[in-house]
Chains A and B, each alone.
Chain A
Amino acid sequence: MMLKRILAIFMILIIGFWLAKGLSGIPFGADKMLVGKYYLEHVKDQTGAINAVTAVVVNYRGFDTLGEVTVLFIASTGVAALLWRKRRERTAKMEGSVVLTTGSKLLFPFIMIFGMYIFIHGHLTPGGGFPGGATIATAFLLMYLAFIVYEIPHKGFEVTEGLAGMSYVLVGLIGLVIGGYFLFDWIWQTWKLGTIGKLISGGFIPVIYTIIGIKVATELSGIVDNMLKEEVKE
């Protein structure tokens, strides 16, 4: 046992040293902003967004984000597939205190509104679809934890999740039709819609982030729902 631990520590030290050697070859602080500089210089006129990170994530490298949305979709689908049982119910027994339940009810709309605020303003302030969606999912998590019988409407959530994903791809396909490229930002590049810095700006970034926000919120809530329920014997 002891020997195993010593060996493991030894191995980790070797790997750490090796990685450090690799890192030493990278000149930190030196000007290696090859693509980064381009983004910073062109982000406003090319995408209409103030937030350079969301512009890169949704517009320049939007293909990756589409992939990440898919990864999350797979995670929730996978959990649902593995935990699938004919009849599943919540089996929590302990009722929460009145302060907790009332407080949660009061907080719920506030968290929802804040989550929406985050994903709608993705092109202007830090945040975007993923944090916004996660915030909304915490509102549902709160309800699940405060009440022993609370349940989200599954059918609706599943369909919404699917439709949100389809709309993301559809926005991309419209880009293919209008601009000739998949995921082309037709709202900004073709229509020049909006003024930079205002809410209506940033091309399709707010549109896509709204879609992602809805998708992430329904997916994470679905995962919570699946994991909290247990099989019931008939």
Chain B
Amino acid sequence: MSFMHLAVAAPFAYAAIVPLLHRSFPRVHTGWFVLPLPVALFAYWLSRFAVVRSGVGEEARLSWIPSLGIDLSFHLDGLSLLFVLLITGIGGLVTLYSIFYLSKTKERIGRFYVYLLLFMGAMLGVVLSDNLIALYAFWELTSLSSFLLIAFWHQRERSRYGALKSMMITVLGGFAMLAGFVLLYIMTGTYSVREMIPQVGALASQPLFFWAMALVLVGAFAKSAQFPFHIWLPDAMEAPTPVSAYLHSATMVKAGLYLVARLTPLFGGTSEWFWLVSAFGLATLFWGSFQAVKQTDLKAILAFSTISQLGLIMCLLGLGSAALAFEGNVSDVYVLAMTAAVFHLVNHATFKGALFMVAGIVDHETGTRDIRKLGGLAAIMPITFTFAVVGAGSMAGLPPFNGFLSKEMFFTGVLNASRMNFFSMEAWGALFPIVAWTASVFTFVYSAVFVFKTFLGKAKPEQLPTKPHEAPLGLLLPPAALVSLVVAFGLFPDIASYYLIEPALASIYPSLLAPGDDFHVHISFWHGWTAELFMTIGVVAVGSLLFWQLRRWLGVYGRLPRQWSLNALYDGALEGLERGSARLTNAYMTGSVRHYLLYIFTFLIAVVGYALYRTGAFGAIDPGYPGYAPICIYEAMLVTATLLATLSVPFARSRMTMIILVGAVGYMVVLFFVLFRAPDLALTQMIIETVSVALFLLCFYHLPKLRKETTSRRFKLTNAVVSVGVGAIVAIAALAASGTNGFESIADYYLEESYHLGGGKNVVNVILVDFRGFDTLLEIMVLGIASLGIYAMIKLRAPRQVDRKGDSSNES
């Protein structure tokens, strides 16, 4: 148990006492009690900079299930540090924001902070775990707490829909990821990522390698809202805005990116990984930015924008993984792409968090998030407007904000990619800059929509539910902090590169770094008249034109997305699954006992028949087997008579005949027992047959109103076929078994010892009460229970309180 473990356990422990605090101090907003925790954790992680910067990192191990190789081993390196700072830093800001956002009287804030702290702890666990199973456990905990947070206003139907959808998709991805982890374990024999990395050389040639990679990527893509799993994120916008800002922009949706970056040393350098990650990232980038333009809800714009930017980072992670395929100076080109990925990851968390908070402020102060109703808020809310301009400027990639720098580096990355001549890039590489540039144009357009439609234009106060005014200081403070980071990283990018990016790169590329060496990342604001700059100028020019002419071409969306909608596919698939399973169940669960018996008997015939066939039992049947006892005429007559009596039972016209025929069969069984030298059996069988027949007749006498079975029965062909099949299978099994002699019987022991040990000459009786008396005891119990049951059935009558009307409708 190290301090690192305590730091991860703290949010969970705190979540347990928050409800107590909430109840004990109802007059204080519970958020104030929560706030110190992320702040303290942030300060703690900041203090670990020096350790991480030195390249050593920090590790701590806590035993969990040692016999299965599962432990809570945490490892803090550059990549983890970047994420824990994001999680605790933005966590603190979101907590502060939520104190002013959520009313302490109208909302169940006690619950809110429990879920939020659970999420924070789980997320810290995800980014610190070195053991893949522990990572998976924390991963699912983030899915679960995210589910709870999305459905925080659970009385709303849309919230429940969104929560369920995100749960379904992320948990589906999580299962795929678990399967991928297990495959990795099969290949390497360890769950620890750090112990897997030295085995990379042997890993890539394993047959399971590709499947492990694909399954892990399904998990990462589902969590990080990559195409085509992105559909849950826009519906998760039903969550309270602090949740959207925290989970669905800065932290949880980056868990997939974290996983891809974390496993890059394992999978990177192969063409499959390169193509899957970068192509899906590029597709997501384009699709998200394209869809964002048509949204009319502020948070929906931001949701699709998040999808698009996550795609951008994913694409860069894919491009950057190519560095592991090369050595020396060639790889530097791709290291640049990875640098851009990490840098943009940080940038996106800052500006997207700020923009979500801006959207929340607008919602809070005007009562709506619909851009068709909003407009002209710049004069009323100047501070919020400033934040929006900075955030959206950074999102669109304009100077002097940090988004500009990472977008330039992104363009450099895709331009380099288009010049690659491996991984069959020569054929497809040209697509990268084209798609990336187009997506950037759309990004510019929706960023402009976000700012201009909300804050500029004509004010429409009559359409707003409440009279708009500037937000209180508490709501403005957290976005102010993020926005100042946006500007700071924009103007002084080397701060970010020194403290955050270089250590993160060192943990993504452990093999590229000589011991004691560092990556030296220098992000320059101005790098001359390069192709990237012209691309940015083109983005601004074309984007402005498109925004200016937005009305004219917005109609395109009306035609396109309906058919292409993945939501329709998801809803249809769920509905289809439900309908299909209902139809399947209704098809065989008919409620008729006869049908179930038919299934059971058919299955019996098929399975026993197949087993007999496989073991060659059919060949073992031999009518002239010398071990069989001889037949005399008397026995042959008895067999024939029994056969006739049995076979005529189904054809009996009245029930009376049928009962008497069954009785006849029973008495002939008595004769068989006599014949086969079993006097006790014969006695018992005779008595019991008599009693049974009497019972049958007695009940028959007492049921005079029974519909008489004098009508000829419907001959059911299936019944006949199945019952003949059962009979045939039993006969064949009997013949095959008796034709082959197995072991000697143990009967000799009983015959010899019956008198010595049991003191009786009737061996059957000695077995029943002496050798195997326990059976007899329980058999007596069976009879006792049966008689008590019969007594209870006849005597005990529940009062008739059942709704007879309902019953009779069912009977008819």
Partners in one complex: no
- Which residues of B are at the interface with A, using a C-beta cutoff of 8 A? none
